[in-house]
């Protein structure tokens, strides 16, 4: 134990008032096979990770592994020594890896119901905390490609991140692991087409027209067409709300609500907006979470404005402002660009959503519509498929406005 602590101790030390330092390796690819057992509420899995060292002597690899039961770890063809300590899996390499040297780790494991893996008698789906269903580097600054093969129970439908190549769900663009997702269940399935995109719905929901309208709105405002050839919306049991590449998981209770209140499209538009902001343009790390959640919240409000009028937009923005003011009065205000976190949960909460949306609405008001939407298109075009910071967004808005916005960003973002 002392030897293991000595091996990894030097790179576990991080400042208390700053985001964690990057890990001394990067994952380039995950090859995953999962076999869900719905009656047993259990998932058997195997993942092979292709990693590259970022340092000259990488002795051990620290992975996030939740409460998984790790049954075997291999480095190449040889068994590897490992320890599962808390939520971390530490694998000791057979010999140190040199800088940029590649290694392959294969891990067999079992997963039970957890925060990131939800079972029902007829369904199983994921929910953001990817390390609850596969060992991985859960940090957003370590994106990787993915091949996810699912062995589904009989008479079930599946959906996963990316596109289906006939045998597995594939992500060819490096993506943060919190955007890896899947759903398996006895779902009804329906399909349609909008704007050249195949729309797929698992579950009982009549959302094709609204989804197509929101897709056209977001493409127009961002200047970027919807980036994948298929968009799947899964309406599942429970309270799931997750976005992934080409995939959104929503509660089936929301589908029931839409049947009674067809204008309640905020959640549908918010989750779809993440295909642009949060997935197409991810934040560099959790410090700029507002660039995903505040942007998606604001754009959902703006879609409702286009569809139902300015009074609806004003009501949504006022609700965001009131939530933010309440948090501020409770002493819970903080910068949108927030580095004082050690876990994703500490970077979350309502501030990135509601303060983020309200600040974007205020920026729109100060710049005027023409300049603001031009700035969003500049930002989207310049930073598509790259990890961004608040500074990147500021620079794009300044370019569109033709003036310095430092005072605004210092006050409301930093």
Confidence of residue 9 (pLDDT cuts 50, 70, 90): very low
pLDDT at residue 344, rounded to an integer? 81
pLDDT band at residue 327 using 50, 70 and 90 as cut-offs: very high
> Angle, nearest 10°, between helix axes 266-273 and 208-222?
50
State the Rg of the chain over Cα.
Answer: 22
3-state secondary structure 114-158: ECCEEEECCEEEECCCHHHCCCECCCCCCCEEEEEEECCCCCCEE
Lowest mean pLDDT among 101-105, 191-195, 301-305, 345-349: 345-349
Query: How confident is the prediction for the chain on average, in pLDDT?
Result: 94
Structure tokens at 14: 């991080």
- Average of per-residue pLDDT across 335-343: 90
Residue 14 pLDDT level (bands cut at 50, 70, 90): very low
Extended beta strands in 157-277, E state: 157-160, 163-164, 169-175, 182-185, 189-194, 197-202, 230-236, 242-244, 247-251
Name the fold adopted by 286-412.
Neutral Protease; domain 2 (1.10.390)
Does the domain at residues 189-273 carry the CATH identifier 3.40.1180.10?
A: no
Per-residue pLDDT of 228-241, as tens digits, reads 999 999 999 999 99
Can you name the CATH fold of 2-185? Immunoglobulin-like (2.60.40)
> 298 CB contacts (<8 Å, ≥6 apart)?
356, 357, 360, 361
Residue 7 has pLDDT above 60, yes or no: no
Judged against a pLDDT cut of 90, whether residue 97 lies above it is answered with yes
Residues of the chain with CATH 1.10.390.10: 286-412
- Residue limits of CATH 3.30.2010.30 in the chain: 189-273
- How do residues 174-228 score in pLDDT, each as one tens digit? 999 999 999 999 999 999 999 899 999 999 999 999 999 999 999 999 999 999 9
């Amino acid at each position: 134990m002392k030897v293991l602590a000595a091996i990894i101790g030097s790179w576990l030390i991080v400042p208390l008032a700053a985001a964690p330092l990057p890990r001394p390796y990067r994952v380039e690819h995950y090859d995953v096979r999962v076999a869900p057992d719905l009656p047993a509420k259990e998932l058997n899995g195997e993942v092979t990770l292709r990693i590259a060292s970022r340092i000259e002597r990488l002795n051990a690899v620290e992975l996030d592994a939740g409460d998984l039961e790790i049954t075997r770890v291999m480095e190449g063809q040889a068994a590897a020594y490992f320890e599962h300590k808390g939520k971390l899996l530490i694998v000791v390499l057979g010999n140190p890896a040199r800088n940029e040297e590649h290694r392959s780790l294969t891990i067999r494991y079992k997963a039970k119901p957890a925060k990131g893996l939800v079972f029902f008698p007829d369904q199983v789906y994921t929910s953001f905390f990817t390390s609850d269903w596969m060992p991985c580097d859960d940090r957003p600054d370590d994106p990787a490609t993915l091949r996810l093969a699912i062995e589904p129970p009989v008479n079930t439908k599946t959906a996963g991140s990316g596109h289906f190549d006939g045998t597995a769900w594939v992500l060819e663009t490096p993506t943060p692991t919190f955007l890896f997702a899947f759903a398996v269940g006895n779902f009804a399935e329906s399909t349609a087409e909008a704007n050249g995109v195949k729309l797929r719905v698992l579950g009982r929901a009549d959302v094709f027209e609204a989804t197509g309208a929101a897709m056209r709105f977001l493409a127009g405002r961002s200047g970027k067409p919807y980036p994948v050839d298929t968009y799947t919306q899964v309406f599942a049991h429970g309270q799931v709300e997750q976005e992934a590449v080409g995939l959104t998981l929503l509660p089936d209770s929301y589908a029931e609500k839409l049947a009674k209140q067809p204008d309640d499209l905020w959640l549908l538009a918010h989750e779809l907006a993440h295909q642009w902001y949060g997935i197409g343009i991810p934040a560099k790390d959790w410090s700029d979470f507002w660039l995903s959640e505040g942007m998606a919240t604001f754009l959902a409000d703006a879609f409702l404005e286009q569809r139902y009028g300015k009074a609806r937009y004003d009501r949504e923005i006022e609700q965001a402002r009131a939530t933010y003011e309440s948090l501020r009065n409770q002493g819970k205000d903080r910068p949108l660009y927030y580095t004082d976190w050690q876990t994703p949960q500490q970077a979350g909460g309502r501030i990135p959503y509601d303060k983020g949306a309200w600040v974007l609405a205020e920026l729109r008001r100060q710049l005027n519509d023409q300049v603001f939407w031009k700035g969003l298109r500049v930002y989207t075009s310049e930073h598509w498929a790259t990890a961004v910071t608040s500074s990147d967004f500021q620079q794009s808005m300044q370019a569109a406005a033709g003036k310095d916005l430092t005072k605004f960003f210092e006050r409301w973002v930093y």
